[in-house]
Structure 1
């Protein structure tokens, strides 16, 4: 077919992006819509409505993912696309949202042009892709693909709450989160549209990034247990200051990241001090940190190196250390066939593109274990993301949505996206 006909309605798409942005937490900066919050619940209801308006049959799977189905001519293993609509605190309007609303717009254009795919097309708004207080992310895609475990639901975050209890209060069934609803279902392929969240495409003046790999991510929650004392009467040499030990751990994390390969980054993102008064020596501190890299060898060695050093510093300060590690995913290459068809579709549309890795984690990393999976990026102004200044122009988003449509058509027309893919495992 002539994929030029699938060009999105830019004004409609742009309007809906901003309509969804209004469903945010009023007392937080930017466009905050954290998982399990009431604005997130309202946004999910809004997304269900947009899916139905586009002609999708909408359900919510046991993992809490919102799934819209567009029937194909022949059925069989479905094509899947989508992303997420939750945000970090103080987040922007485009991260994840472009992939969900862009996919809905693709469905509209397929129906408006009378284009029917051979395979069913699933549009998914995955539950809780962003990192939550329990050192986890991609809750919906991990649950659906069988990665989520009972241990994950037992995690207690820096907020002192247990993930399973928070999910239950939001209306989710913990047993459903542990039921791998997609693990034994064969999928034809997965393609996710996303903003780059980095500066490469803008700096090079390019329209599209064809993602080659998604970085691996290792996270830890460290608890430092010292002794609370009066800040005026407890002498420096006799203190068991939990915050001092945590501060040394922050520097350890930074040194590890700086000494790693070019793709390595290390971040301390959350710190809680107890009791949290300036006239009390901190008796307890909780620190959340993460490491990311395309180099799996370096990433695999992080746990031992970091734990050894922060344990030594903690012992020097008379502080007990507890460390709980979690791995979001190892380094995940995207499927070469999906890369090639997306690049070919970009050429067909006259869009300039670059093969590039993703420094951010995505639901695609978990879908890649179940089917041939890929991603396409659109530029981010100044490379900014996870902040209110996050921005991508309407024309750039429209180009990405057009490419998503053209790529899905190409995927649909192939008898199998990757003849070497062995199916669910």
Structure 2
């Protein structure tokens, strides 16, 4: 077995020879990385090798890609692959393809090479290292064939780095203490859904309650004092030795958007449960109570109300929301009673600020920033504020064939112009984004000019003044567009969430833990809202982001991350907890 110490102390020739199979037929990569020794951790070694590739010339990068074999290609069939590639392809059963699967892969390989000029690269052992199925490989192949060349080349290099990571783990006999368990748990609760072949878990549905029960069971198994409170939050407390100690809170939400991803929110619950489980198994106690909260509702899918779980913890739950109804006419009050909760006890959920040290949330980034920089982790600087509205436009429905263009009161055309106005106003301004995510023509017909149209509006920025200025300009544009087109508008505000800066003293402690893991500290803004925004009303907050794969896609079944990144985030959070000092 090779060790990191041996790699740090051997001569360059031995270093290169030991790592010769990590990057396919490319000894120049370890040759250049050798000068950066000693490496503080395996993570630092991985980043050093990756950095060599990033700094390489375009021709060298293309050469690295072309050094890899096609999946289930001629070289594989002839037994001409390297030992590493042979084992990886076999792990996903590519040596057992049916004739139809071979034909499909052969065609995909040919189409891909014709379009891009290099072979399709995929880490077939996947995000968990256990192997993708042949169906998953073919689906990924088909999807990526639609990419542009520059984007696909970047993705191939990322996949090569993932292949190298898995190979390096095997060479150094790296055993991930947390990542595999976190990924396994995420898969398990990802199977609980309101819809077939999708992940949907909305507030207080049977699926939501089953997910809560499973989280509570894992917390209990991890040695935590566990309960589900009267808003549906799942709370696990890993007690300190001293009963009167203060509490550090971590966690995230377990509800999802419709057809969402497996890690959004849930990573921030499962990861600290894995840490508590480790502490319990080793008999280690922290000098403070560690409370892990699976917040019951953050997404606002069922009742169009967000942060219900975290607002209850901060004492800011709006009791008027209990009368909000879902699309079936069921109120939050009724749903709570059906789930066995008592709405009158929600106020008692609130924590006292003097008892809480801080709130720290781990979350998948839900964007491409870390991915594009090749970094597994990032420290969040602030969470962007958000203004959301529902806009209803009313024009005049009339015959599409007989109404002249100059006489139309087309609600959909007004909506289209509003969408472009939002895009124009929010483009080119750092940290400002605007989105029309819902667009509907109720009862629309192919031969009728739309008489009504409904759309959503979401404007976000890290700076609230910037956000409000953009909102004001968009509202002015809506007024002008509707007046000119003789269309009436009704605008209903649904969310006004203030931007939440993270506490510098917590960011510095998180950043120091990241650096001790051998990874450079990188700070970034969160454009998405998180429970930390609500928790900022109670205590100082901080967030640690993990890298999001598949181009940074989130709120989507393609949302992905790796067991290695989950493990590294857990190592960093555990180090942070052990080193924690109150400002």
TM-score (norm 1): 0.85
From 472, 478, 482, give the equivalent of 1:314.
482
Alignment partner of 1:24 is 2:193: yes
In structure 2, the residue matched to 1:3 is none
In structure 2, the residue matched to 1:246 is 415
Distance change >3 Å, CA 237–CA 226, structure 1 → 2: same
Count of aligned residue pairs for this structure pair:
406
After the TM superposition, which residues 352-371 of structure 1 pair with which residues of structure 2 at under 5 Å, given as runs?
A: 352-371=520-539
Alpha-carbon deviation of 1:57? 1.9
Greater fraction strand:
1
Report SS of the residue matched to 1:375. strand
Report SS of the residue matched to 1:80. strand
Report SS of the residue matched to 1:17. helix
Distance 1:274 1:249 in 2: 18
Say whether the 8 Å CA contact 2:204–2:232 is kept in structure 1: no
Alpha-carbon deviation of 1:218? 1.0
Report SS of the residue matched to 2:522. strand
Alignment partner of 1:325 is 2:493: yes
Alpha-carbon deviation of 1:315? 2.8
Alpha-carbon deviation of 1:333? 1.1
Say whether the 8 Å CA contact 2:514–2:520 is kept in structure 1: yes
After the TM superposition, which residues 380-395 of structure 1 pair with which residues of structure 2 at under 5 Å, given as runs?
A: 380-381=548-549, 382-395=551-564
RMSD across aligned positions (CA): 2.8
Greater fraction helix:
2
In structure 2, the residue matched to 1:57 is 225
Per-residue CA deviation, residues 349-387 of structure 1 (Å, 9 max, x unaligned), is 333331222121111111122112111111112222122
Distance change >3 Å, CA 103–CA 64, structure 1 → 2: same
Say whether the 8 Å CA contact 2:178–2:570 is kept in structure 1: no
Distance change >3 Å, CA 276–CA 180, structure 1 → 2: farther
Distance 1:360 1:188 in 2: 24
Report SS of the residue matched to 1:325. strand
Report SS of the residue matched to 1:124. strand
Structure 1 window deviating more from structure 2 (240-249 vs 162-171): it is 162-171
Distance 2:294 2:552 in 1: 24
Distance change >3 Å, CA 201–CA 363, structure 1 → 2: same
Alignment partner of 1:81 is 2:243: no
In structure 2, the residue matched to 1:143 is 312
Alignment partner of 1:193 is 2:358: no
From 296, 299, 302, give the equivalent of 1:127.
296
Structure 1 window deviating more from structure 2 (200-209 vs 143-152): it is 143-152
In structure 2, the residue matched to 1:42 is 210
Larger Rg: 2
Distance 1:323 1:298 in 2: 20
Say whether the 8 Å CA contact 2:178–2:275 is kept in structure 1: no
Distance change >3 Å, CA 71–CA 179, structure 1 → 2: closer
In structure 2, the residue matched to 1:13 is 182
Say whether the 8 Å CA contact 2:512–2:521 is kept in structure 1: no
TM-score (norm 2): 0.64
Say whether the 8 Å CA contact 1:34–1:40 is kept in structure 2: yes
Structure 1 window deviating more from structure 2 (36-45 vs 171-180): it is 171-180
Report SS of the residue matched to 2:427. helix
In structure 2, the residue matched to 1:102 is 271
Distance 2:570 2:379 in 1: 14
In structure 2, the residue matched to 1:345 is 513
Alpha-carbon deviation of 1:236? 4.8
In structure 2, the residue matched to 1:379 is 547
In structure 1, the residue matched to 2:169 is none
Alpha-carbon deviation of 1:59? 1.8
In structure 1, the residue matched to 2:455 is 287
In structure 1, the residue matched to 2:119 is none
Report SS of the residue matched to 1:324. strand
After the TM superposition, which residues 390-401 of structure 1 pair with which residues of structure 2 at under 5 Å, given as runs?
A: 390-401=559-570
In structure 2, the residue matched to 1:4 is none
In structure 1, the residue matched to 2:18 is none
Alpha-carbon deviation of 1:205? 2.4
Structure 1 window deviating more from structure 2 (349-358 vs 376-385): it is 349-358
In structure 1, the residue matched to 2:431 is 263
Report SS of the residue matched to 2:441. strand
After the TM superposition, which residues 156-195 of structure 1 pair with which residues of structure 2 at under 5 Å, given as runs?
A: 164=332, 167-168=335-336, 171=339, 175=344, 181-182=350-351, 186-195=355-364
Alpha-carbon deviation of 1:12? 2.5
Say whether the 8 Å CA contact 1:245–1:319 is kept in structure 2: yes
Distance 1:236 1:156 in 2: 40
Alpha-carbon deviation of 1:206? 2.2
Higher relative contact order (CA 8 A, sep 6+): 1
Distance change >3 Å, CA 184–CA 9, structure 1 → 2: closer
Distance change >3 Å, CA 148–CA 245, structure 1 → 2: farther
Which consecutive residues of structure 2, in runs of 5 or more, have no partner in the other structure? 1-175
In structure 2, the residue matched to 1:422 is none
